[in-house]
Amino acid sequence: MKPHVWSGRLRRWFARQDRFHCPVCDTRGPFRDVTPATGRRRHAQCPRCGSLERHRLQFLVLERVFASLPVAGMSLLHVAPEAFFRDRLRTRFGNYVTADRDRADVDHRIDLQSLPFPDASFDFVFASHVLEHVPDDRRALGELRRILRPGGMAVLPVPIVAPVTVEYPEPNPHEHMHVRAPGLDYLDRYAGFFERVERFGSESFPAEHQLYLYEDRTRFPTRECPMRPAMPGERHADVVPVCYV
């Protein structure tokens, strides 16, 4: 077959693909599917920088929040620091501190339910997909509020994977030791600790960034995840809460 015929077929094939824009690295084109233990997710990963749906949404939210803050003179506590955000945040904040319960590559080994920091130690806390691992999450929220200075804020997203929050009797090893399946109602708990909570959802930014999770959740519960409930539909929104002191 002649080269120009193949070229035409490739152009038509690419034209049929779902094409998106990654706000992190400015890549445009199809995004990759991923297949974690919970099942296949379509259009999830940027092929260039590797950002997933939650990374892109959190990136957009952080950029919007940082735009009005003098972050170079502020202190940030990054809990369970993801490699994806670690270098980006380290270069922006004047005082960048990392912490985790188990990892050795952090500044502090901590239990979120009993933090070793004095009151009003930080201006900003970022803890993504952490609280679903913490048994006494209300105590942890109280600790996070305690270490924030007046005017501080915390970004505390959790995976929204249930119609309403389900508490597990013990950590589930098939869900990375989650102790609950958070629903949107989980974010209501933050109101008891912070003056104001602003929610940014997948719909808060242009659709071209692909901030939804396309996956089949109707198959739950499963043998591995017996307490995780089913959810209808194949497109599920994510949410990033920004909590203000």
CA distance 190 to 192: 5
**Domains of the chain and any CATH numbers:** 21-244 (3.40.50.150)
- Cβ–Cβ under 8 Å, residues 162 and 181: yes
* Neighbouring-strand partners of residue 32: 45
For the chain, the helix, strand and coil percentages under 3-state DSSP, each to the nearest 5: 30, 30, 45
Question: CA nearest 135: which of 180, 166, 99?
Answer: 180
Query: What pLDDT, on the 0 to 100 scale, is given for residue 14?
Result: 45
* Cβ neighbours of residue 8 closer than 8 Å, sequence gap 6 or more: none
The one-letter code for the residue type at 177 is M
* pLDDT tens track, the chain, 245 positions: 555 555 655 454 444 468 999 999 999 999 999 998 778 999 999 999 999 999 999 999 999 999 989 999 999 999 999 988 999 999 999 999 999 999 999 999 999 999 999 999 999 999 999 999 999 999 999 999 999 999 999 999 999 999 999 999 999 999 999 999 999 999 999 999 999 999 999 999 999 999 999 999 999 999 999 999 999 999 999 999 999 99
Name the pTM for this structure: 0.90
CA distance 38 to 83: 22
Question: CA nearest 181: which of 157, 199, 164?
Answer: 164
Query: What pLDDT, on the 0 to 100 scale, is given for residue 84?
Result: 87
- Cβ–Cβ under 8 Å, residues 175 and 228: yes
75, 116, 136, 161, 245 from 142: Cα distances, Å:
19, 13, 10, 24, 12
- Cβ–Cβ under 8 Å, residues 237 and 202: yes
How do strand 108-109 and strand 95-100 relate by DSSP bridges?
parallel
Query: What pLDDT, on the 0 to 100 scale, is given for residue 17?
Result: 62
- Cβ–Cβ under 8 Å, residues 62 and 155: yes
CA distance 107 to 116: 12
Query: What pLDDT, on the 0 to 100 scale, is given for residue 12?
Result: 47
CA distance 183 to 239: 10
Name residue, tokens 């995004």. 31
Strand, coil or helix: 60: helix
- Cβ–Cβ under 8 Å, residues 32 and 47: yes
Query: What pLDDT, on the 0 to 100 scale, is given for residue 37?
Result: 77
Query: What pLDDT, on the 0 to 100 scale, is given for residue 197?
Result: 98
CA distance 216 to 129: 21
